Structure 1
Amino acid sequence: MEQKTYEALLKRQDGVISRRQVRGLGGNDRDLARLVRQRELTRLHTGVYIDHTGEPTWRQRAWAAVLLHHPSALAGAAALHAHGLTSVRAPEVITVVVAAGRSVDDPSGVSTSRLRCYDDAVQHHLSPPRLRLEHAVVMHASAARDEDTAVARLADAVQSRRTTPARLLSALELLPRLPRRALVREVLNDVASGAYSAMERRFLLGVERAHGLPVGARQVRVTHGDRVAFQDVAYPEQATVVELDGRLGHERASDRWADLEGDLDALVAGEATLRAGWRQVIAQCRLAGVLGRVPVARGWEGAVRACLPECEAVDRGGSHAPLRDFLPRSVPVRVSTIAPSRRAVHHRADWAQVCSRR
């Protein structure tokens, strides 16, 4: 066995090597037995070894899983973590994918899926081999435990600037048997429109669309002096801005200060600010009733519609309560006194065997 080639392979694979590779270098089982006896190698899985006797790192366990079922590649959260998505933690169980039709036995800590378009979806040149980012993202999202988690997984990938909704949709086209495929497509279309969080998507579907509110522009870039900010939802014809404060991106003191600075800028520009969080977005009919009244007061000729017969958003003949009485107590409301032509409202309402055959 060529020693230099052997050492180079170990280095390239984070100290992990397989029996198949040793034999490919001219070694045999006696060489492997000697290396194990001399404690130069330690067995991790059947036919897979590591070059030390300590606890393997996550990358070493990932390499071991890939080599165990060669040819195979990382999938799911393991693939996304290897791709460098900081929002995805290193999973305890390493998921790998193999070509459809193969039968493998998984040891503890390894889980295997089968993929019909294996050759098209895998990047074997990466270290360790893994699914292409787009395939890994849509498959990971489809396996989410609920809709909000699916939104988060897709939005996180887009916000990382490593991919785009269009590229994710293209990958989805090659996965016609993907579980919850319709949901993933719907979420990707919403993410493409700017709904980058579970809260923003709930607002889009449950508040804006369900109640016939004006269609807002999302993630609108605005400049105040030397500061640049992004408005979650803007209704320019009604001079209205909606912001949605979820936990992520608004939990640090510096984030809160930035939000307050934005409110001051809005006030100077003649905008009123209303803030709400998850509690208000979940009470979607109540929130829609408030939001519908603001654009009407500023020139919107539409009308809020009921999403259900018992919907709270629609006035049923009684007099309107003051906004401060209608809103949950946790929502501060600020209404400007500037003339209507200059006013605006700034509302801050805090994979499987799924590929097409070629």
Structure 2
Amino acid sequence: MNRILNSRIVKTTAIAAAVMGVAGVAQAREQLRIVGSSTIYPFASYVVEEFGATTDYQTPVIESTGSGGGLKLFCEGVGEDTPDITNASRRIKTSEFERCQQNGVTDITEAVIGYDGIAFAESSSNEPIDLSREQIFLALAAKVPQDGKLVDNPYQKWSDIDPSLPDREISVYGPPTTSGTRDAFEELVMEAASEDMSAYGGDGYTDIRSDGAYIDAGENDNLIVKRLAEDTKAFGIFGYSFLEENTDTLIGASIDGVAPTPDAISSGEYPVSRSLFFYIKNQHAESVPAMYEYANLFMTEKMIGPMGYLKGLGLIPLPEEMRSEQRQAVESQEKLELADLK
């Protein structure tokens, strides 16, 4: 009988522990967890603070991990130790989507929040400059074509590339490989500038030099802004919103004759423009009730509309019809499919 009683005690203790464990998970996951892009971080942080101030939910935890870093964490699986939402300054890659699927993250909603341009900026103590994507490519590529061959990049000054450019050392502060801004820069500048160069065999070339001309400045774009204030002869690569917030100290280079302005970015005339995203892990809906409340707040007109708060921080709004479509996608928890990415 003692054995039976002991068995019941063990079972009762186990059940109680399980109930307490479930309660602990529910309590822990009442706080939304967001990771991802440093470019979207200022926008998402504003929504996070507004959400915490205007709802009964706890203020979400948000980390700036870079787009690639955020998607890596997001795709690790489903459960309390994984993020609920990740921000990305470029679209999820098919390889990342497939990794999500393999790890059980099989129900994802994609939201486009607006547009952004990648600024190639410098201290406002310099004269405004107009650079072509080809000139930027030649300044930063690991290998460049000379006499029909690819050689290690020999250019030390901008004037080495073109005598009309400043007689300044090539020094560019930019994001690391985990950054969506880096991914977009490689695609929209490096690849676009080189795809017609015969020395590369008709393929775009995206390898960036590692001899000190390009300086990996980390995921925090504000640090790049600070470095440009100190190193006035250097350039920096970051999202347009950071240029918008620092027009008293920085100027953006025109690229292929087009200045980085909201109108030029939204129309696509500015050649280094991109869409901004966040991704929702729908399988966390029941255990994280704050998730959709936050996502729906983000997609409201008061946040992403033409008169919204985020426009004041540098977000370029989507056209009205696209905003409506994206809002509906979030509200209906539209499932992203692999075919959508191809």
TMscore range, shorter length: under 0.3
> What is the TM-score with the length of structure 2 in the denominator?
0.24
> What is the TM-score with the length of structure 1 in the denominator?
0.23
Higher RCO, 1 vs 2 (CA within 8 Å, ≥6 residues apart): 2
Which of these two proteins has the greater Rg computed from alpha carbons?
Answer: 1
